[in-house]
Structure 1
Amino acid sequence: MNALNGWLKAVRADGLVLARTRVAGPWGFAVQARDAVVFHFVAEGRAFVRQADATTIELQAGEMVMFPRGHAHEVAYSKRGRVMPLESFLALRDGVFDSHPEATTLICGQFNMDQHLALPALRALPQAVSLRAGMEPGSSSLSDTLRMLRHEVETPNFGNQIVVRNLLSSLFVYFIRGWADAASPAANDWFSALRSPQMTRVLALIHEAPDRAWTLVELAKEARLSRAAFARNFCALVGEPPHQYLTRWRMGIAAQLLEETELRLGEIALQVGYRSEFSFSRAFKLARGISPIQYRRAQRNDAPARSA
């Protein structure tokens, strides 16, 4: 799936472990809504994940839950157990390992990414996704990754942070890959579009060459469909018109270039398909709410806080 490869390469989910603990007795914490993909993995014991207006999820050993759009939720030792704010729980429990034989071992974390860039995929996912990974060596790539992740966060050694970051990146890829493989073509969403030969070809071309001056006629030709049929099918599957998806992708790549390079605006404009700095700046402000210069300045000012 070249379209998925290009998407994963650009989105670059940056994983972060929020908590690792082995806790017994009454416990619980509340996670506020955030612009990140949040996950909880139960390595042993069990936990209950509660959401407003949704069925409570019980997690057994070897199971995990992901919140693709960072919805607010609670995690506790029982269906009705009391909770405290996540920050308070972390201050008391992060890195603390209870020796009680019936304790629950939890690893919680999040994936930070450009929410604008990732939106078409994230909105195709349920509010919460529960997964059975298992803990037996070799049972699956996901289970092996989680087993190694647990070892790294519980066993201090040099290079732990580097290994954990790489494992979390792999964890996100396995999650997205698994969902894409299991997606029903009848679902009519971004993942089912990846299983349509016409749509996946177009998505791959957009992902790989945002600098090309794509027109609706050219994209329809690549899909081997009439312009009307292509526009209708693309919108139905991906959730937005082709030009809107193309602009979203271009602005996501531009945001990365603004944050990570010293390229001038005119150079960035050419790399994302705009012939002038003015037209690029206008498109970027319409998509992101601020000008490219303001965005670059804000990202540079936030950099020390993110690296702390």
Structure 2
Amino acid sequence: MKILVTGAAGFIGFYVSSRLLEQGHQVVGLDNLNDYYDVSLKEARLAQLTAQDNFEFSRTDLSDREAMAALFQNHQFDRVVHLAAQAGVRYSLDNPMAYVDSNLTGMVTILEGCRQTKVPHLVYASSSSVYGMNKKVPFSEADAVDHPISLYAATKKSNELMAHTYSHLYGIPTTGLRFFTVYGPWGRPDMAAFKFTKKILAGEPIDVYNYGKLSRDFTYIDDIVEGVLRVMEAIPSADAERDCDRPDRSTAPYALYNIGNHQPVELLTFIQTLEKALGVEANLNMMPMQPGDVYTTYADTDNLRDAVGFSPDTSLADGLQRFADWYRSFYQI
């Protein structure tokens, strides 16, 4: 198949593109290579992709309507995997317009491209952050998500609403994936595993928010990619008789799935596991809770397992050891 992967130079987009190429698909990778984090890391990922015959790169900004429309018209995509977004909760407090341009306008250009060229299935990245202030755990797709506490979370919920609207109006099959704290080799420098590792190895203290009284459903990158690839082939269908008494159900060809490890880990346990993987003890700088942060994330993955026969299960110890080994190798430490 010919598949568009947006955010192809990003963490998850790089891995998804790599796996699709391994399977023999033709991949058009889109990225604007912005400087939200170290561009050289994005370029290093991209270099591995552009070295392969079936990969074509498009340096395009999602908010460029004309360029996006031309991209869809010049290709007939069999699938679109939309992973590009302005990421980060804390960054959204200072740079809100970046989220409007990328996450809102960008989602509309993707949906319009899919509508105009009749793409058979759009799979797009949502986030566990949509659960916001929800207290009931584990978080289920059936739960209401009406209380986001960051602009980033609000844009991700908006993406789900936009996708549903296009599924309902135009019959475009769309599937949203709520990712839970993804980590692993080639990961994002603004995420805990990368940020902590850099400081621990440099002998610098790491900031521990809410004095360590936080937990996250850390999910290893290989599990995320496996979920994405399986969901690509699980195309939702319309059903006028479907009972729509829950947020995750619709008469439209629309689906939502959590992709998480279903095993929340306390932040201090995460740090201890990382210390063991690195063989270095961390210096902790205990900090209060930060605006926009949630206390816990915890994925109910029953719907994903029922739909595609898979749910993530990589242990934190294994995943962090692989990350630590990659980090030392990549940065020659």
- Fold match, TM over 0.5? no
- Point out the structure with max Rg over C-alpha: 1
Q: Which has the higher helix share?
A: 1
Query: TM-score, normalised to structure 1's length?
Result: 0.31
Query: TM-score, normalised to structure 2's length?
Result: 0.30
